[in-house]
Amino acid sequence: MKHLKLLLLLTVAVTASLSAQRRYFDEVFSNVSVSPDIAYAINATVLYLAAPPNGYGQAIPETLRFDLYSPEGDVETARPLVIILHTGNFLPPQVNGGCTGTRKDADDVAIATRLAKMGYVAAVADYRLGWNPIASTQTERVYTLINAAYRGVQDSRACIRYFKKDAANGNSYKIDPSKITLWGIGTGGYISTASATLDTITDTYIPKFVTPLGPMVLEFLSGNINGTSYGVNPGVPGLPYPAGDTLCYPNHVGYSSDFALAVNLGGALGDTSWVEAGETPIISFHNPTDPYAPCGNGIVLVPPPVNLPVVEVSGSCSFQQIINDYGNQNVMVNANLTDALSTKARSLNGNIEGFYPFLGNDSSPWAFSSSANPYNLSTSPNCETLAATHTAYMDTIMRYFAPRACAVLGLTSDCQLVNTKELSTGEVGMTAVPNPTAGDFTLRTADRFEMQNIEIVDLAGRRCATYLHVNANQFEVKRNNLAAGVYFARVTFKEGVVTQKIILN
């Protein structure tokens, strides 16, 4: 069980704007339609490569699928699409520990549902799994991992091409194919960042991915980086696949694999040498002290209880500075986002754009499961279920993502969060009386500053009460059942936003 120590959650960083709701910023739709198990490609998996009777001895074709989430009652016919890739260490739940590893993961479902309510179409997609994290040599661990990541890139691009092909032939999903985001969670973050930066297979021809026998990733064997060519072992000795084994099947050839925006929640980039100017912008969320997917430059470790070293990678703390320096984030920089969340992120990340660091001891604080044993394993993994803290982190992720996606995808003419100019309590004459208090309290402002909306949040970022359309200079807030502790009243005005600290005894 993870121990959540939410050192980051200043309340101003997680609350939603309380003024009029806007599509792509707020959850403007109440209901979401889910279409499960839609096939988007067929490709060769090595997950079952072990020899019979426990395996097939060669790669076998696997149907790759996605679950589609879309807002009910939506009349828009050219909607931005987000393709979500799950975590799981490139292994299924039966192998990786049991809490994650499929497109049915609870946090995937939650993110897709939120995005659909905001007006996006979201597809939570499979990708091929399989590598050997407990191989006896580090070389074999690196070999199997880089090839797993390579297959993940091929699959993500096949999924993109599937939607572009559909858009060009009737557009049954009603998307705008120029506004596609690839969103990776955990292991999926390795795929989304690699998909944004790997232009050619030769990008992997660097010392850590090369052996004395040559590159670890071979195009004739694994297909090209987009997965639009066959990959077959012609009989080269020493390869872990039999002669004639097909490792890549082309899907949707002739359509573009390009996408507009990448998002990573954790994960890392295989190497910063992959980054070049003019590549896809990336929005990152990462714990700077993540022990498994390093935020800076560090060694990927096989998770406990094994803890074997694999290969050095570069996480968000490292590659975000580089892509900022290259100008790849300029469309976000030029949006000049001044809301409290953006200001807080820049204060934590060294004044760069597109990176929100989550401080604390939890490597994936947004992650939760639908139950303590979501995949009904005999090992009873005791997975962490939904708590208010997870909701708070999800709030932060969505509020940081929304204006940046707006800017990159060109969703509206104004990508600022509404009423986000930070005002001081002195500017508006804000007082809370009594404060501290054992009961109710009253918020007051100067005559010319009329309160529009009020939100009460706790230190975990949980919204405890909301009061809309106040339109007054004085308002009594009822304590109701709020426990003793520190809270914040987040008050919006026409002129901006004020945060007033409240202490309940």
Residue among 459, 494, 454, 449 at smallest CA distance from 470: 454
**pLDDT of res. 3:** 35
Q: What is the pLDDT of residues 267-306, one digit of tens each?
A: 999 999 999 999 999 999 999 999 888 999 999 988 777 8
In single-letter form, the type of residue at position 115 comes to L
Top pLDDT among 360 and 418 is at 360
**pLDDT of res. 53:** 76
- Taking each helix axis from N to C terminus, what angle separates 388-409 and 340-349, rounded to the nearest 10 degrees? 100
**How far from chain centre, in Å, is Cα 168?**
28
Residue among 231, 247, 149, 160 at smallest CA distance from 198: 149
Instruction: Identify the band that residue 11 occupies on the pLDDT scale cut at 50, 70 and 90.
Output: very low
Q: Are 74 and 167 in contact (CB under 8 A)?
A: no
Q: What is the pLDDT of residues 458-481, one digit of tens each?
A: 876 677 888 877 889 999 999 998
Where helices occur in 120-170 by DSSP H, the ranges are 138-168
Q: What is the pLDDT of residues 320-348, one digit of tens each?
A: 999 999 999 999 999 999 887 898 999 99
Instruction: Identify the band that residue 4 occupies on the pLDDT scale cut at 50, 70 and 90.
Output: very low
Q: DSSP state, 203? A: G
In angstroms, the first-to-last Cα distance of the chain is 31
Decide if pLDDT at 224 tops 60. yes
Instruction: Identify the band that residue 9 occupies on the pLDDT scale cut at 50, 70 and 90.
Output: very low
Top pLDDT among 261 and 97 is at 261
State the CB neighbour count (10 A cutoff) for residue 174: 16
**pLDDT of res. 18:** 39
Q: What is the mean pLDDT of residues 78-106?
A: 96
Token code pair at residue 431: 């007082």
Q: Are 266 and 186 in contact (CB under 8 A)?
A: yes
Mean pLDDT of the chain: 91
Decide if pLDDT at 440 tops 90. yes
Q: What is the mean pLDDT of residues 355-378?
A: 94
Distance CA 373, CA 264 (A): 26
Scan for tokens 């070293």, then name that residue.
Answer: 309
Q: Which CATH class is domain 425-504?
A: mainly beta
Scan for tokens 């989550």, then name that residue.
Answer: 358
**pLDDT of res. 420:** 57
Top pLDDT among 111 and 307 is at 111
Lowest mean pLDDT segment, chosen from 49-58, 84-93, 119-128: 49-58
**pLDDT of res. 12:** 37
Decide if pLDDT at 44 tops 60. yes
Token code pair at residue 239: 């390869």
Query: What DSSP letter does each residue of 338-375 carry, written as one string?
Result: -SHHHHHHHHHHTS-SSEEE--SS-S-TT--BSSSSTT
Distance CA 417, CA 439 (A): 33
Query: How distant, in Å, are the alpha carbons of 101, 191, 217, 234, 480 from that of 59?
Result: 20, 21, 16, 14, 61
In percent, how much of the chain has pLDDT > 90? 77
Residue among 127, 125, 121 at smallest CA distance from 149: 127
Scan for tokens 């990008």, then name that residue.
Answer: 203
Lowest mean pLDDT segment, chosen from 9-23, 85-99, 215-229, 327-341: 9-23
Q: What is the pLDDT of residues 371-420, one digit of tens each?
A: 999 999 998 899 999 999 999 999 999 999 999 999 999 998 889 875 55
Angle at 283 between CA 184 and CA 454, to 5 degrees: 110
Angle at 235 between CA 231 and CA 238, to 5 degrees: 100
Please state the φ and ψ torsions of residue 17, each to the nearest 5 degrees.
-65, 140
In percent, how much of the chain has pLDDT > 70? 95
Three-state DSSP state, 492: strand
Instruction: Identify the band that residue 8 occupies on the pLDDT scale cut at 50, 70 and 90.
Output: very low
Residue among 301, 25, 335 at smallest CA distance from 141: 301
**How far from chain centre, in Å, is Cα 413?**
25
Distance CA 213, CA 94 (A): 34
**Topology at the third CATH level for domain 11-409:** Rossmann fold (3.40.50)
Looking only at the bridges linking them, the beta strands covering 246-248 and 261-265 are unpaired
Name the residue ranges covered by the structural domains of the chain: 11-409, 425-504
**pLDDT of res. 17:** 37
Decide if pLDDT at 126 tops 70. yes
Q: What is the mean pLDDT of residues 261-272?
A: 97
Lowest mean pLDDT segment, chosen from 30-39, 44-53, 154-163, 358-367: 44-53
Instruction: Identify the band that residue 50 occupies on the pLDDT scale cut at 50, 70 and 90.
Output: confident
DSSP H or E segment with residue 251: none
**pLDDT of res. 461:** 63
Distance CA 248, CA 151 (A): 9
Encode burial over 218-236: b for 16+ CB neighbours within 10 A, e otherwise: beebbbbbbbbbebbbeee
**pLDDT of res. 458:** 84
Three-state DSSP state, 497: strand
Q: List residues bridging with 98 in a β-sheet.
A: none
Model confidence, pTM: 0.82
